[in-house]
Structure 1
Amino acid sequence: MNRTAVITGIGVVAPGGIGTKGFWELLTAGRTATRRISLFDPTGFRSQVAAECDFDPAAEGLSPQEIRRMDRAAQFAVAATREALADSGLTPAEAPAHRTGVSLGSAVGCTTGLEEEYVVLSDAGRLRLVDHRYGVPQLYGYMVPSTLAVETAWACGAEGPVGLVSTGCTSGLDAVGYGAQLITEGSADVMVAGATDAPISPITSACFDAIKATSPNNDDPAHASRPFDHRRDGFVLGEGAAVMVLEERGRAQARGAHVYAELAGFAGRSNAFHMTGLRPDGREMAEAIRVALDRARLAPDDVDYINAHGSGTRQNDRHETAAFKRALGERAREVPVSSIKSMVGHSLGAIGAIEVAACALALDHQVVPPTANLRHPDPECDLDYVPLTARDHTMDVVLSVGSGFGGFQTAMLLSRPGRAR
């Protein structure tokens, strides 16, 4: 039996737009959500800007007990899950608990809760040995990243396969890809798949400050994230979540569901090279793209839009440009490419799922989001990076790629419903 996973529901918590509608409006308007950090006092940090979510958990329907129990990243995931389920229109009868699973990605887990508790237990760092008596009951949950998947499973009543994928900045793409594979192999009929991260904290900011990866453009936050721009100076940290309801295509069609996209192909590779470095030839990312195309039974000429990793660092932008040329040949010069990180920042493990949501919406609306702040193109990045303004564009197939510390490289292909392969 030929089983295909499709997206029938989308939920998003993103900087500048809580909910899928606000998120898509931000992207198509080309607005940036970066600003000076308000979640903590960033004075003294090299990079003092980030893309924060204006998230009110009570307004999003979380109870006081849920708010007390959950880390910020878990709150994001549950809010996005509830929106995705409502969007899908699934009823409990149509999604039996034992055939419903969760595949959630996260790079840094419950960082916010862990750091806040360390400050309390150590008396703001004064005590070398922390005093456990001051710890909150849910502290163990903050220590275990799988707590995020557990909270998501409880929110959707999933009793099938439930797991957390943590592969750095490709976690979101990998979690969605894994969820799709469980459907295609017959292990589940419905998967709640996506990713969440809330890394805007002193410890995370200090780590990226140390390696000078984030932008020090503190005087002009709105223009700090500039992928593929000659004047870029690092990425902008972000936060958020995106969760999608994946269903087996036949079941979705039988119940008359709106299908945003089919998950046509997925592949991951590692460069086994360097923790943070990338080879300039883009060979490993190109190989992931090639394998994803093969699995989808598609050719390079079938790709109509590329959602780039586009972090805004020189080595990443060069690496991606080379990978697209290597994998797609001449088609790379014809197809539009853009980076939504220019608008919503880089939310580490969550961003891959947020980008999958953007790709599904792009296919649904036939609009390519722009690369904001791209005013001085880097001559080394000589593809069509859709600067500043969204573009109406006929699309059947979209490619989304991710690149993560540790050498992770992931490619995913989404196609319009019913496209013959």
Structure 2
Amino acid sequence: MMRRVAITGLGVVAPGGIGVKEYWDLLTAGRTATRTISFYDPSQFRSRVAAECDFDPLAAGLSQQETRRLDRAAQFAVVSTREALADSGLDTSALDPGRIGTSLGSAVGCTTSLEREYAVVSDGGREWLVDHTYAIPQLYRHFVPSSMAAEVGQAAGAEGPAAVVSTGCTSGLDSLGHAVELIREGTCDVMIAGATEAPISPITSACFDAILATTPRNDTPESACRPFDRTRSGLVLGEGAAVLVLEELESARARGAHVYAEIAGFAQRCNAYHMTGLKPDGREMSEAIDAALAEARIDPSAIDYINAHGSGTKMNDRHETGAFKRSLGEHAYRTAISSIKSMIGHSLGAIGSLEIAACALAMEHGVLPPTANLHEPDPDLDLDYIPLTAREKQTDVVLSVGSGFGGFQSAMVLARPERSIA
């Protein structure tokens, strides 16, 4: 019989909330953490808003040496890992470290440090031949994204398989999917898995400006991200991290662990169509949903809630709506859907793990987070997208989906372990 995988610990660094409790309070209150960019002067850019984390590494428990050594994204990951392990109650020192693995997602790696150091060694971009002697000793760590997975492994005492999964905006789902497979196949008993991202930098702003993906709604940053709203005009960049402790279900039960949910199914597809474009029928996302449900042995009619990708672009909203209808049929019209990107922005590779953490908390508390800023529903999007206010609802099965540049489509199904298995 296939080994089953449970979520037993959560750790979060997010805009508007450092830590799981603060994060959940923000989501259920429907508050937005989007604001005018403060990390640098954004005046030269078309889109000047983002969802920034109010993060003090020392206050979050990192040492001065760790703060100096680690890129901001790695700092997020280590802090989230420590919270997740504490939440799980798991004593990793009592386990075989070779049976504990690490899987971390990130789309753009150590962008913040790399851009900062390039500005230093090139004298603000004025020198074509850079002077490496001005670079910090830690530059190699920032250049190699695998260093982030190594830091998480060190924080957890994990000596098993370690990987960085980088599949664009689906990285946070795909890293969890990779972790689940390692437990199912028997390679690991415990996985420290999730994703981290700190992409808010001039180079990122310039890239997203170039493809007109980010919103130009700069005058009202708190309401700039408007998934499913008729007036939506693009995504809002974000940052953050979520790390989950995943365990083989029976082992978790045997030690009396609290189980948030079981990761029952996962699948990913690529549309092989366009780097950024999506077809409105949602076929590729639908195929990922169908495959994830089949792996979970769950009928589409059992889905109680969908955490949508909901980036705030018209193309994505239409694609998702089409996918939900293809996969769920008439049940799609009876299923509650929302997007938390409306509150915490789109943190690229990290967002999928942040969304799975939100889904686990929704199942735990019987509350579905809303879609903020959804005042004027797009008449073409005729499903039950939860507007403005959280909704109380007990859920047994939750679907979370992601869509990424390159044509990536991923779907993950969470379920209560007590459900009957077909």
* The two structures share one fold, judged by TM-score above 0.5: yes
Decide whether aligned partners of structure 1 residues 136 and 93 sit closer, same or farther in structure 2, where only a CA change above 3 A counts. closer
User: Which residue matches 1:376?
Assistant: 376
Moved more, 145-154 or 104-113: 145-154
Q: 2:278, 2:319 within 8 Å by CA — same for their partners in 1?
A: yes
User: Which residue matches 1:337?
Assistant: 337
The Cα shift of 1:147 comes to: 1.1
User: Which residue matches 2:2?
Assistant: 2
User: Which residue matches 2:25?
Assistant: 25
Decide whether aligned partners of structure 1 residues 276 and 167 sit closer, same or farther in structure 2, where only a CA change above 3 A counts. same
Q: What does the per-residue CA deviation read over 1:31-60, in whole Å, with 9 as the maximum and x for residues that have no partner?
A: 000001011111111111000000000011
Partner of 1:328, secondary structure, is helix
User: Which residue matches 1:68?
Assistant: 68
Rounded Cα–Cα distance in structure 2 between residues aligned with 1:86 and 1:417: 22
Moved more, 39-48 or 313-322: 39-48
The Cα shift of 1:95 comes to: 3.4
The Cα shift of 1:93 comes to: 4.9
Q: 2:104, 2:164 within 8 Å by CA — same for their partners in 1?
A: yes
User: Which residue matches 2:59?
Assistant: 59
Instruction: Figure out how many residues of one structure are paired with residues of the other and give that number.
Output: 421
Rounded Cα–Cα distance in structure 2 between residues aligned with 1:144 and 1:315: 33
Rounded Cα–Cα distance in structure 2 between residues aligned with 1:420 and 1:105: 31
User: Which residue matches 2:181?
Assistant: 181
The Cα shift of 1:419 comes to: 1.5
Q: What does the per-residue CA deviation read over 1:198-232, in whole Å, with 9 as the maximum and x for residues that have no partner?
A: 00000001100111110111110010000000000
Decide whether aligned partners of structure 1 residues 121 and 93 sit closer, same or farther in structure 2, where only a CA change above 3 A counts. closer
User: Which residue matches 1:298?
Assistant: 298
The Cα shift of 1:96 comes to: 2.3
Percent identity reads 69
The answer on 1:198 being equivalent to 2:198 is: yes
User: Which residue matches 1:418?
Assistant: 418
Partner of 2:400, secondary structure, is strand
The Cα shift of 1:417 comes to: 2.8
User: Which residue matches 1:37?
Assistant: 37
The answer on 1:284 being equivalent to 2:284 is: yes
Rounded Cα–Cα distance in structure 2 between residues aligned with 1:183 and 1:313: 36
Q: 1:260, 1:417 within 8 Å by CA — same for their partners in 2?
A: no
User: Which residue matches 1:407?
Assistant: 407
Partner of 1:67, secondary structure, is helix
Q: 2:92, 2:156 within 8 Å by CA — same for their partners in 1?
A: no
The aligned amino acid for 2:282 is: G
The Cα shift of 1:371 comes to: 0.4
The aligned amino acid for 1:42 is: P
The answer on 1:224 being equivalent to 2:224 is: yes
User: Which residue matches 2:131?
Assistant: 131
The answer on 1:320 being equivalent to 2:281 is: no
Q: 1:99, 1:160 within 8 Å by CA — same for their partners in 2?
A: yes
Q: 2:305, 2:337 within 8 Å by CA — same for their partners in 1?
A: yes
Q: 2:397, 2:416 within 8 Å by CA — same for their partners in 1?
A: yes
The aligned amino acid for 2:162 is: V
Partner of 2:124, secondary structure, is coil
The Cα shift of 1:281 comes to: 0.7
The answer on 1:251 being equivalent to 2:251 is: yes
Partner of 1:127, secondary structure, is coil
Taking structure 1 as the reference length, what is the TM-score of the superposition? 0.99
Q: What does the per-residue CA deviation read over 1:46-88, in whole Å, with 9 as the maximum and x for residues that have no partner?
A: 1110000000000111111111110000000000000000000
The Cα shift of 1:128 comes to: 0.7
Rounded Cα–Cα distance in structure 2 between residues aligned with 1:254 and 1:187: 19
Rounded Cα–Cα distance in structure 2 between residues aligned with 1:371 and 1:292: 24
The Cα shift of 1:2 comes to: 3.2
CA RMSD of aligned residues (A): 0.7
Rounded Cα–Cα distance in structure 2 between residues aligned with 1:408 and 1:251: 33
The answer on 1:392 being equivalent to 2:413 is: no
The Cα shift of 1:94 comes to: 4.7
The Cα shift of 1:138 comes to: 1.1
The aligned amino acid for 2:280 is: P
Partner of 2:229, secondary structure, is coil
Rounded Cα–Cα distance in structure 1 between residues aligned with 2:116 and 2:98: 36
Partner of 1:263, secondary structure, is strand
Rounded Cα–Cα distance in structure 2 between residues aligned with 1:60 and 1:54: 11
Rounded Cα–Cα distance in structure 1 between residues aligned with 2:203 and 2:370: 31
The aligned amino acid for 1:317 is: D
The answer on 1:97 being equivalent to 2:87 is: no
Q: 1:95, 1:190 within 8 Å by CA — same for their partners in 2?
A: no
Rounded Cα–Cα distance in structure 1 between residues aligned with 2:95 and 2:40: 41
Q: What does the per-residue CA deviation read over 1:351-381, in whole Å, with 9 as the maximum and x for residues that have no partner?
A: 0000000000001111110000000001111
Unaligned 5+ runs, structure 1 = none
Rounded Cα–Cα distance in structure 2 between residues aligned with 1:255 and 1:233: 49
Partner of 2:174, secondary structure, is helix
User: Which residue matches 1:86?
Assistant: 86
Rounded Cα–Cα distance in structure 2 between residues aligned with 1:85 and 1:397: 25
Rounded Cα–Cα distance in structure 2 between residues aligned with 1:165 and 1:269: 15
The aligned amino acid for 2:92 is: P
Partner of 2:273, secondary structure, is coil
User: Which residue matches 1:260?
Assistant: 260
Partner of 1:266, secondary structure, is strand
Rounded Cα–Cα distance in structure 2 between residues aligned with 1:351 and 1:191: 19
Q: 1:6, 1:259 within 8 Å by CA — same for their partners in 2?
A: yes
Partner of 2:381, secondary structure, is coil
Partner of 1:337, secondary structure, is strand
User: Which residue matches 2:109?
Assistant: 109
Unaligned 5+ runs, structure 2 = none
The aligned amino acid for 2:320 is: E
